[in-house]
Amino acid sequence: MGTITAGFHLLFLIPTIALHAHASSQEAHLTKFLSSKRSKSNISNKIGDPTGFHGGPFLRITSSPRTDGYPGSNHIALKAADKISALPGQPEGVDFDQYGGYVTVDGHNGRALFYYFVESPGNPAAKPLLLWLNGGPGCSSLGFGAMRELGPFRVNRDNQTLTRNNHAWNNVANVIFLESPAGVGFSYSNTSSDYDRMGDPLTAQDTYAFLVNWLDRFPEYKARALYIAGESYAGHYVPQLAATILAHNNDTGVILNLKGILVGNPLLDDAKEERGHHEYLWNHGVISDEVWAEIAGHCNFSDDSAYGDDRCYKAITKSQYESEDLDIYNIYAPTCITDNNGSYYSSSQLPGYDPCGEAPTMAYLNLPAVQRAFHARETKWSDCKIFVDFKDSPDTMVPTLKWLIGHGLPVWLFSGDLDSRCPITSTRHAIRDLNLSVTEPWRPWTVSHEVGGYVQQYKGGFTFATVRGAGHTVPTFQPERALILLQSFLKGILPPYEKAK
């Protein structure tokens, strides 16, 4: 068993090294996390309670969330102080309000989460509230979600100016981008030991406290419909936060009007993720028939084993060597090439997609004037934080999803169909474990008579959709299709289907 454990530790390090020049840091961060998690091979780390977090029931916050970071403060004044007059380099004609700042989630330890909030143009009072969470674990919703995916702006190559994103999600909702957990991006704790105990439960607890305290600052949103969305490791963050909200709605005086959750290319089940990953690579011609036959024949991929024996390890090692020059987060996307002199360029052209967009975003968010405009503490901002030991990460989120569906919460999952790290195959395996009957069979959905993806709905309001031509971060690759999918989710209807004339 010890040999197998060591083998899997090396196995997961292979794609991490190979993707250094290909994947964004958020995506590579997930691979590193899975490497670290697998190396521990702690088979006892399972969700034992189908209605709760790993190792036990939902964490309860028995008292009201801490607000002693600003005792006796005037929340109206805090909101006014958070308003952003303008971001440096933003284009003319910005027709929505922006806010940025900190919300204390633990005044005793000095733990505060940074948020960026963009209201909807036109009539924000008529639009719902949506919280967006990026994954990692430990990657920034500001640097990725807001500035590279679904936010209102993109950073230009000059590192100083912004361009409007025509398919920003604040066109249809008022969107909060939250840097979570503490230690990520501009979020922080004055108690360094907090970072050592960070994990799924504390992340859910802090994010819940953030929402309660944020709504005190923005009371006009307290009765507004609330939706939670995210991607990748947010396949953990979002369901656990939703479960925390529903549990507290039943046992505290604070009611959050949660109406549904939406997660893209989610990490849901470790064993299903690995099985689906290699299955996807084989189905798309990346690994050979012989290697896939070895993997299928020797790897168990069950949730209660170490995946088999040395023959499994050797087979998977071969598959990594065969795919080492590929961006596994979008197997058909161009990559960012960096020259020795520090300049960078795209390996090929894909309309609307810049594989090098991370560099100008990093430079922009580290400009002192930009940090002041966001009302952030001036610091060296980084896109992802490495947590040496991210605590209590369940091996599967399927029981939590079952609990949410059983409590009547609409749950939507979607997959960019070019991602092999958290691919459609892995998500399908996890969905099968939900044991839900189909109410609306698999069908295409369209954008201007072009197939945008496929969708299927299940009993209990559970919906699964694909987005054609998108990788791990769907709004980056297919912003128009991602926005249409969001609109359908918010309306509670399946995305449109129009037959070609």
Q: What's the N-to-C CA distance of the chain in angstroms? A: 60
In what helix (H) or strand (E) does residue 104 lie, and over which residues does it extend? strand 98-106
Helix (H, G, I), strand (E, B) or coil at 35: helix
What burial letters (b/e) apply to 136-172, b meaning 16+ CB within 10 Å?
A: bbbbbbbbbbbbbbbbbbbbbeebebbeebebbbbbb
- Phi and psi (nearest 5°) for 250? -90, -20
The pair of three-digit structure tokens given for residue 485, joined into one six-digit string: 């999918």
What burial letters (b/e) apply to 393-424, b meaning 16+ CB within 10 Å?
A: bbbbbbbbbbbbbeeebbbbbbbbbbbbbbbb
Q: Do 398 and 305 share a structural domain?
A: no
Q: Do 222 and 211 share a structural domain?
A: yes
Q: Do 257 and 283 share a structural domain?
A: no
Q: What is the pLDDT of residues 103-122, one digit of tens each?
A: 999 999 999 999 999 999 98
Active-site annotation holds for 472? yes
Q: Do 442 and 326 share a structural domain?
A: no
Q: Do 78 and 158 share a structural domain?
A: yes
The one catalytic residue in 269, 426, 472, 488 is: 472
Q: Do 329 and 403 share a structural domain?
A: no
Residue 69, pLDDT score: 47
Q: Do 235 and 277 share a structural domain?
A: no
Q: Do 197 and 321 share a structural domain?
A: no
Q: Could you list the pLDDT tens digit for every one of the 501 residues in the chain? A: 333 233 333 233 333 323 334 456 666 667 767 656 655 543 333 333 434 444 343 444 444 454 444 545 678 899 999 999 999 999 999 999 999 999 999 999 999 999 999 999 989 999 999 999 999 899 999 999 999 999 999 999 999 999 999 999 999 999 999 999 999 999 999 999 999 999 999 999 999 999 999 999 999 999 999 999 999 999 999 999 999 999 999 776 789 999 999 999 999 999 899 999 999 999 999 999 999 999 998 888 875 554 567 888 888 888 887 787 788 899 998 888 888 887 888 888 888 888 888 999 999 999 999 999 999 999 999 999 988 788 888 999 999 999 999 999 999 999 999 999 999 999 999 999 999 999 999 999 999 989 999 999 999 999 999 999 999 999 999 999 999 999 999 999 999 998 766
The one catalytic residue in 278, 419, 429, 488 is: 419
The one catalytic residue in 189, 232, 319, 415 is: 232
Range of the domain at 171: 73-269+388-491
Active-site annotation holds for 419? yes
**Domain contains 39:** no
Residue 41, pLDDT score: 46
Q: Could you tell me the CA-to-CA distances from 110 to 67, 68, 192, 419 in Å, in that order?
A: 11, 9, 10, 38
**Domain contains 224:** yes
Alpha-carbon distance 41 to 270, whole Å? Answer: 11
Number of domains in the chain: 2
Q: Do 208 and 341 share a structural domain?
A: no
**Domain contains 317:** yes
Q: Do 224 and 84 share a structural domain?
A: yes
Residue 258, pLDDT score: 98
Q: What is the CATH number of the domain that holds 461?
A: 3.40.50.1820
Alpha-carbon distance 132 to 398, whole Å? Answer: 21
Find out whether the peptide bond into 360 is cis, omega within 30 degrees of 0: no
- Computed on alpha carbons and rounded to an integer, the radius of gyration of the chain in Å comes to 22
Among 13, 16, 8, CA closest to 328 = 16
Q: Do 453 and 331 share a structural domain?
A: no
Q: Do 89 and 200 share a structural domain?
A: yes
Active-site annotation holds for 375? no
End-of-domain residue from the set 305, 334, 353? 353
Q: What is the 3-state secondary structure (H, E, C) of 451-501?
A: EEEEEEEECCCCEEEEECCCCCCHHHHCHHHHHHHHHHHHHCCCCCCCCCC
